[in-house]
Amino acid sequence: MWKKIAQLHRKISPELISLIEERYEILRHIQYSEPVGRRALSSMLEKGERAVRAQVEFLKNTGLLDFSPMGMTLTPEGKVMQRELAEYIKALHGLTMLETELSEKLGIKQVIIVPGDSEVNNMVRRELGRATANLLAQHLTDDHMIVAVSGGTVMANVAEAVNFSRPSVTVVPVRGGLGGQVESQANSIAATMANRLGGKYRMLHLPEGVSEEMVASMLASNNNVLTIADMIKKSNILIHGIGQAREMAVRRGFDDEFVSKLINSGAVGEALGHYCTLTGKNIYITSSVGLQLDNLADIGLVIAVAGGRKKAEAIIAVISAGGQDVLVTDEAAAKAIQSII
């Protein structure tokens, strides 16, 4: 339906498309920042206040926005319209067809694409989180399920986007920590997601990159670590990010010589401590308690989340390595993936 409507608009009134996209962007920004004032909204959109005022007055008069001293908010009708417009924008950009094409070419069950480029627009990164949270809501029952989550900025957005309750669910970090910002650590993301679900969480206080002997020692001497490791491997749903090989190697503190060796060996993508080539070959695996790519066949649903044009090769590499059921990505990454394939 949306595809046909988009085709009609292109033929009959192409000048309206930019206006529809502009109003969609306004609704989308208000949804994530409400209540928000006109001046702040103008700054977010990088548009003049006069132009934004005219559009929000129109949206208010059509019953899509509420005004208050605190700022603008979406009405219930506005929230429905925003969701429907999101589907229309996907069809308008040809993303619905691209989802099917990439699903077939990558050999994965489902690809979900959100419009835009998360590298240049933080709102798109939040949309990745919302799309993933919506997918989680569809598959997550209240039947004592276990959800495993990795770290990363996009994963933090996923946790923040959860707006439903599953009190019997337990959330666990997928592997040990990497260091860096606490907010984007798997432990912190697990806690945030569990709190928003009204469920429980367990933390894994063990850094990545320790020796295999140390890992074995921890498992042998610490029942808590052993219990959490077992829970992780029994997860019903796994949600993980994808990183660029060089960036992730540097974050893990590898020396320059090792990083160069890794990249020269063809590694372009990283997930769950695995560094993969474009064809999915594993070049190097970091030692840690938790899941590895080899364990994914035992997980009920595996969701990979990553966006941005620069991550296209990394996404192909990790998906080619196998184990994922769903890829949630953005328009920029999807079109770059299409070009590479």
User: Model confidence at 226, in pLDDT bands (50, 70, 90)?
Assistant: confident
- The reply to whether 99 and 240 lie within a common domain is yes
154-178, pLDDT tens digit by residue?
999 999 999 999 999 999 998 765 4
User: Model confidence at 223, in pLDDT bands (50, 70, 90)?
Assistant: low
Rounded mean pLDDT of the chain? 88
Whole-angstrom Cα distance, residue 118 to residue 306? 9
pLDDT of residue 319: 96
Q: What percentage of residues in the chain have a pLDDT greater than 90?
A: 60
- The reply to whether 99 and 59 lie within a common domain is no
**Contact status, residue 272 vs residue 292, Cβ threshold 8 Å:** yes
- Give the residue numbers spanning the domain of 28: 2-91
Q: What percentage of residues in the chain have a pLDDT greater than 70?
A: 87
User: Model confidence at 219, in pLDDT bands (50, 70, 90)?
Assistant: low
Least confident of 2-11, 30-39, 154-163, 226-235: 2-11
- The reply to whether 190 and 257 lie within a common domain is yes
263-296, pLDDT tens digit by residue?
999 999 999 989 999 999 999 988 766 677 777 8
CATH number, domain of 55, equals 1.10.10.10
Where among 91, 111, 144 does a domain terminate? 91
- The reply to whether 37 and 175 lie within a common domain is no
pLDDT of residue 253: 85
Where among 76, 91, 106 does a domain terminate? 91
pLDDT of residue 209: 54
pLDDT of residue 337: 97
91-108, pLDDT tens digit by residue?
888 898 899 999 999 999
> What global pTM score does this model have?
0.85
- The reply to whether 52 and 132 lie within a common domain is no
User: Model confidence at 240, in pLDDT bands (50, 70, 90)?
Assistant: very high
